[in-house]
Amino acid sequence: MADLELDGHRWKPAGRWWGRGHDGRSLEIDVVAEPASSSGPILVGEVKLSLHATELPRMISQLQSKVEQCPLTRGRPSQLAFWLPRPLPGGCTVPLITASDVFRPTA
């Protein structure tokens, strides 16, 4: 995630997070990265092999719920994102990172 920039923000290397949420239930988040600067948001996201545009509102709501339950993100500004193999048709209210964004050709 060190090369990823969204809305002018960068992040430290990302990893998965799993543990107990504030409600005591198991919680897993695919992508969590601390901000590169002290004032940036924490990056929180999910990786999906397939996702239909009609599923996006539900997926965003589920990810927002995970952010609210996660002890690491509670009370901190967060940037939501989804990782997909290819772009979705139409617009989206959260960033969609595709395989071409991650695997850029080297010079």
Confidence (pLDDT) at 59: 94
Residues 26-77 pLDDT 10s: 999 999 999 998 889 999 999 999 888 889 999 999 999 999 999 999 889 9
For the entire predicted model, the pTM comes to 0.86
Q: Which amino acid appears at position 16 of this protein?
A: R
pLDDT confidence tier of residue 16, bands split at 50, 70 and 90: very high
**Angle (nearest 5°) at CA 25 between 49 and 28:** 25
What tokens does 82 get?
């989804």
The DSSP H or E segment spanning 15 is: strand 15-20
Q: Is the pLDDT of residue 107 over 90?
A: no
